[in-house]
């Protein structure tokens, strides 16, 4: 994994102003904290942030010590999209056309417990931005499996041999099926891409969805200093591709890795994949190849990128 492979992920300057303050309550090396730090560089102080139960319920802190420089509202696990829809209606009723309403939910509050409300708000095309920071399990309550947990991962609720037997739910396909104006994936190792996708979402009206991979050293069993490396490896191994979808129809790969790194580079840094044998790694590779091939087909990519190298 040469430096050039990593350097190509960093293009452009990043806004220097901070709208997430130090002194937050995240674990060391938390990818969810960095996700929001980057997201806030686009949102600044012009948003109402709605947080259902998740790690960010803790990370944000309590008044007057909260770490976000904007309005924050905590709500029950399944209710975030409905609460956000109501807040937006209230803002419009008092003539505020500009304040963004942003749901900040973990994968449990998006893929599982929040899915019904999310689907309803997406179908109604509510004018809100739903951001899922995905740490791939219920980390706040002890690393229980969610439907965002990937194939092969251990969790505290995965029965012996502690290998999740089925793949991660395809939340982007579900959002595309709602034909919302904008949906995109992002992750912290590509900060310019993440910020530009938040900016893109802010500029649009209607329901917008961002799926952001946020490595979690606590739950993934990874070294705290490897959080950004893991985020990069997720993209360079293609287990988490970067792409966007307009109106549920137009797919576009926003980053095409010039080298497809082996999945072992990604799995090897995480204890949650330590039970995987060669057969399971091969199955994971097949899953990745299939998903990548589908993505290339939908986005009209003409490169020979379905071949694993």
Interface with ligand SF4 (CB under 6 A): 26-27, 30, 32, 55, 59, 135, 139-140, 216-219
Of 153 and 218, which has the nearer Cβ to ligand SF4?
A: 218
Shortest distance, position 282 Cβ to ligand SF4, whole Å: 29
Q: Tell the burial category of 28 from Cβ atoms under 10 Å away from its Cβ (0-12, 13-18, 19+).
A: exposed
Of 24 and 88, which has the nearer Cβ to ligand SF4?
A: 24
Of 32 and 81, which has the nearer Cβ to ligand SF4?
A: 32
Of 36 and 48, which has the nearer Cβ to ligand SF4?
A: 36
Of 26 and 269, which has the nearer Cβ to ligand SF4?
A: 26
Please answer whether residues 247 and 227 qualify as being in contact, where contact means their C-beta atoms are separated by less than 8 angstroms. Answer: no
Shortest distance, position 165 Cβ to ligand SF4, whole Å: 24
Shortest distance, position 8 Cβ to ligand SF4, whole Å: 27
Shortest distance, position 148 Cβ to ligand SF4, whole Å: 12
CA 138 from chain centre, in angstroms, equals: 14
Of 219 and 241, which has the nearer Cβ to ligand SF4?
A: 219
Which residue is associated with the tokens 């139960």?
Answer: 53
Cα–Cα dist 80/69, whole Å:
20
Bridge-based pairing of strands 208-213 and 243-246 is unpaired
Residue 239's alpha-carbon distances to 28, 53, 69, 77, 290, in angstroms, are 24, 27, 33, 28, 11
Cα–Cα dist 147/199, whole Å:
28
Q: What is the DSSP string of 257-283?
A: -SS---HHHHHTT-GGGTT--HHHHHH
Shortest distance, position 80 Cβ to ligand SF4, whole Å: 17
Shortest distance, position 221 Cβ to ligand SF4, whole Å: 11
Cα–Cα dist 67/19, whole Å:
8
């Amino acid at each position: 994994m040469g430096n050039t492979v990593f350097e190509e992920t960093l293009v452009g300057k990043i806004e220097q102003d901070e709208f997430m303050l130090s002194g937050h309550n995240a674990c060391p090396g938390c990818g969810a904290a960095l996700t929001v730090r980057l997201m806030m560089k686009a949102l600044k102080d012009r948003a109402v942030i709605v947080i259902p139960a998740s790690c960010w319920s803790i990370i944000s802190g309590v008044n007057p010590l909260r770490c976000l420089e904007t309005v924050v509202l905590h709500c029950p696990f399944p209710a975030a999209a409905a609460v956000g829809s109501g807040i937006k209606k209230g803002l419009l009723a008092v003539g505020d056309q500009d304040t963004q309403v942003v749901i900040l939910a973990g994968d449990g509050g998006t893929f599982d417990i929040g899915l019904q409300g999310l689907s309803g708000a997406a179908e109604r095309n509510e004018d809100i931005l739903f951001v899922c920071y995905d740490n791939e399990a219920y980390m706040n309550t002890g690393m229980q499996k969610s439907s965002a947990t990937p194939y092969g991962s251990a969790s505290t609720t995965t029965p012996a041999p502690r290998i999740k037997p089925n793949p991660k739910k395809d939340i982007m396909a579900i959002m595309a099926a709602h034909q919302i104006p904008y949906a995109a994936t992002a992750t912290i190792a590509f900060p310019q891409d993440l910020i530009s996708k938040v900016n893109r979402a802010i500029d649009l009206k209607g329901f917008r969805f961002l799926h952001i991979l946020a490595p979690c050293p606590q739950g993934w069993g990874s070294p705290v200093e490897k959080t950004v490396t893991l985020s990069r490896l997720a993209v360079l191994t293609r287990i988490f591709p970067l792409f966007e979808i307009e109106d549920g129809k137009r797919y576009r790969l926003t980053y095409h890795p010039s080298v497809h790194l082996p999945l072992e580079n990604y799995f090897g840094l995480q204890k949650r994949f330590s039970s995987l044998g060669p057969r399971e790694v091969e199955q994971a590779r097949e899953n990745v190849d299939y998903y990548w091939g589908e993505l290339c087909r939908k986005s009209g990519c003409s490169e020979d990128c379905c071949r694993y190298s």
